[in-house]
Structure 1
């Protein structure tokens, strides 16, 4: 089968199971990435997704991978094989995509780095399962039907695990984490833009600790 081997799936699950919430970060300044990542790790969130949405993203991944002890940094919003390869070279320990394309799946197959591909419909989940993926990002979670939709998938698509992302917050995180097919959630609320801009690392550590205490 194409896609993810059992070994890569185990590597991915080992990262995702470190915590109930994976911070999803948009980093505008690579210089702030190290302080931000250290604050998140101090709060108990060691798996960190830096999205490839800004020019600073690759430098941020590289800095966190090189300088932040205890962090498992991944690259998110990976849209093609070129970005996949660049993220891996920067030091990403996992790759996240909002959806899936043949190019991304081929890149995942050729790499030793595990991938969390995105799916929003039953057909997309089935397609990824046929490609060898058993763990997926459910995105955009709230807009695609929320926890009720994901619960409905748990029986016909048994054995598939999800990391819901998109519209997930402290208020609704447990709606997802209580589901049998959810391994963790992704969220940006643990690193508010204003706190990052102000360098309020203590405040972010408190938010991270609050998120880390959530349990499904």
Structure 2
């Protein structure tokens, strides 16, 4: 049985979840986040520009650990690897997708929405999972509840996480990191206001330090 590949090392406990519509935005966005202390980014495949954006960041910003988000099909595994993604995430998981990431040795954070799904992913060898959609599933309380019967698992809640509530998530012992889209607001990206994104990243970084 193949075992999951290890995630690349990164320091940030906040993972920006980004939808890039223009690949030219990707590199300055990544540099802005890095300047604010965030050294990891999830560029989703929700737009046609996703793969090109991943490739651009992987080549131009080596200090940024670039991950591919919304990887939902086995066929996408080779595509994100070829683009230079160092890891991938999914809102859920299927046997075909898990087989593909294990065969490809792609570091992967599978999505789960219930204890049964989390247990199935543990059986496949994963100990870090994406809890999605976190807020709709019950937020902090559901993760707190999962911690009792599943103390060996860690989660990255995504969906409804913001600067206002991320400290509550990160205070839980079974939360390794959080994912959110608030660090790269669409208006700031469209305007090329990279200084604003750096300020948001620094604000999140400082908030995480305050929790510790």
Say whether the fold is shared (TM-score over 0.5). yes
What is aligned with 2:16? 23
Give matches, 1:1-216, under 5 Å: 1-4=1-4, 8-9=5-6, 11-12=7-8, 14-15=9-10, 18-215=11-208, 216=211
Is the CA contact (8 Å cut-off) linking 1:22 and 1:184 kept in structure 2? yes
Structure 2's unaligned 5+ residue stretches are none
1:3·1:108 contact (CA, 8 Å) conserved in 2? no
Gaps in structure 1 of 5+ consecutive residues: none
Runs of 4+ displaced beyond 2 Å: none
Cα distance in 2, alignment partners of residues 20 and 95 from structure 1: 16
- Which digits, 9 at most, give the CA deviation of each residue in 1:88-129, with x for residues without a partner? 110000010100001110011112220000001011001101
Distance 1:69 1:132, change over 3 A: closer
Deviation of the 1:214 alpha carbon: 2.5
Instruction: Give the TM-score, by structure 1 length.
Output: 0.94
The number of residues matched between the two structures is 209
Q: Is the 8 A contact 1:20 1:211 kept in 2?
A: no
Q: Cα gap change, 1:3/1:124 in structure 2, threshold over 3 Å: closer, same or farther?
A: farther
- Structure 1, 196-205 or 67-76: larger mean CA deviation: 67-76
Does the residue aligned with 1:55 lie in a helix, a strand or coil?
coil
Contact 1:51 1:76 in 2 (8 A): yes
- What's the C-alpha RMSD, in Å, of the aligned pairs? 1.1
Q: Is the 8 A contact 1:3 1:105 kept in 2?
A: no
How far apart in 1 are the matches of 2:2 and 2:174? 23
